Every structure is written in C-alpha cells, then in structure tokens.
Structure 1
Amino acid sequence: MQISTFLFPKDKVAFITSSMSMKEAMDHLEQSHYSAIPIINGEGKYMGTLSEGDLLWKLKNTPGLHFDNMHEFPITDIKKRSRNECVSINAQMDDMLALAADQNFVPVVNNDRVFLGIIRRKDIIEYYTRNITD
C-alpha cells in the first residue's frame, strides 16, 4: 500500500524554517505540543528534525546562552542528536515500520526532497494492527 493514503499534509503539520532562531523554534514547539518538529528550508525542502532535547543540550552546553538571548542563536547552529529519516511519497508502507520504531513521525518528501507532510507513528501502528488481526 502506498503511504500517500496516510499522509498528514504539510498544511496541517507544524514545522519550522531553517532561518529561525532557537527562541522561535521553542515557541513553535510549545504551540504545537510536539516534542520534535520538521525543519524546512526556504525552498520547502526537508532539512531534518529538531527535538526538545536538541534545544536543551544546546542551552546546557553553550556558555553565555540563556533564555533571554536565545533569539540570537540560529537553529542551524544546533547539533541534532538523532537523525530522522524521510521517505519518498512513492514509498510503500513496508518501508515505514523500521522508521516508526525510532521516530514519532516520518517526514514525507517528493523526488526533489520538498516536504509534503508526515506519517504519524500512530497511523503506522494502526495500519499494521489492522492487517495482523484481519
């Protein structure tokens, strides 16, 4: 089965842009209630995923960085502790299971890596649960 059936489209997904500051990223995470959020560049391409943990480690390990000056630090300076893999819109559901084990969501891109949306782990688990019990 093609994953497009399960796509939660970009216009319904919270994401941040690669030009944002740490403060802006933190605000977006707070508003969305996500623990991790996709990063999109100015061309709409998927650049990775930023997690709450990435922000906290940056805050802890950067001398002089504190809540009052987070707006001065771009998210591009934040090291990502884990790599969230994306998949092509042409992928099959079988390609998703291994990724869902390690990621809350799987970013979906077109052939040019333009971000199209996400497949939520919940939807992947429900799909496999239905197919195992049917």
Structure 2
Amino acid sequence: MNIAFFLLPKSEVITATPQATLRQTLERMEYHRYTAVPILSDQGHYVGTVTEGDLLWFLKNNAEQVGFDNAHRHVLAEVPLRVNNKPVHIHADMVDLIDLAKVQNFVPIVDDSDKFIGIVRRSEIIEYCAKQMLFKSASPSSS
C-alpha cells in the first residue's frame, strides 16, 4: 500500500529550522508535547530530526556556555543530532517504513524533488501492521 494514504501533511507537522533558537525549539516541543521534530532547510528540504535527548545532551555538555537562561542566544544548527533519521520517498510502500519505525517516532517523507512533504507516524505504521495480521488470521487460507 502506498504511504500517501498515511501521510500527515507538512502543514500539520510541527517543524524547526536550523536557525531556530534552542528556546524556541524547546518551547514548541513542550507546547505540542513532542519528543522529536523534523528540521527543515529554508528551501524545504529535510535536514534531520532533533530530539529532546539531543537538546538535553547539548545543554549538559555545554553547561558552562549554554543554559536555559541564554538558550535564546543559541541556534539549533549548533546541536549535534545523535540519530540520523532517514527520509523516505512518497512512492515507497508501507513495508519500506517498518524497519525505520522501530527506532523513530515518525518517518519523514519527501517528494521527487527531495522536499519535505510530511510524516508517517509510528502509530499509523503499527496500526497498519496490526490490521494486516488480523486480515491474514481471519482469511480462510490461513487455517
């Protein structure tokens, strides 16, 4: 099945840019209750995913220079990303997402121009897999 059916479009996804301050990023993540958000370039390309862990490790490892009181002076581009979440092209099948979903809350989706167009959430992938399992167990040939 094509993943377009499961796509949460870019217009509904909370994202950040490399120029966003740490404070802006933290506040958006807290407000929306997300543990990770996609980072997009000014041209709309997927750059990576920043997680709460990335931000916390950055603050811990730079405690002398960076704190919550001056987080507005530091940008997301300064934060090393611990995990390289790979995007998937819109023409991929749901099966292509399963391995990625094991280690990511969502899978970033890009179009033919490699522009970010949205995400597929892990919960959607799990639901799809569960329905496939139920369908196979209910079909007469599986008996």
User: Match for 2:88: what amino acid?
Assistant: V
Q: Which residue does 1:95 correspond to in 2?
A: 96
Secondary structure, counterpart of 1:16 in structure 2: coil
SS across alignment from 2:108: strand
SS in 1 for 2:109: strand
1:49 aligns with: 49
Q: Distance in 1 between matches of 2:54 and 2:11?
A: 25
Q: How do 1:1-134 and structure 2 match up within 5 A? A: 1-62=1-62, 63-134=64-135
Is the radius of gyration larger for structure 1 or structure 2? 2
Secondary structure of 1:95's counterpart equals helix
Superposed structure 1 runs of 4+ greater than 3 Å apart: none
TM-aligned CA deviation for residue 112 of structure 1: 2.1
> How much does 1:74 deviate?
1.0
Structure 2 unmatched ranges of 5 or more: 136-143
Q: SS in structure 1 opposite 2:20?
A: coil
Q: CA RMSD in A?
A: 0.8
For 1:128, what is the secondary structure of its paired residue?
helix
Uncovered stretches (5+) of structure 1, i.e. residues with no partner: none
Distance in 2, matches of 1:49 and 1:92, equals 22
Mapped to 1, the partners of 2:123 and 2:26 lie a distance apart of 24
Q: Distance in 1 between matches of 2:129 and 2:123?
A: 10
TM score, norm. by length of structure 2: 0.91
**2:141 matched to which residue of 1?**
none
Residue type of the partner of 1:72?
A: R
1:112 and 1:28 map into 2 onto residues whose CA distance is: 28
Identity in percent: 40
Matched residue of 2:128: which SS?
helix
1:28-81, Cα deviation, whole Å (9 max, x unpaired): 111111000000111111100000000000000012211111111110010011
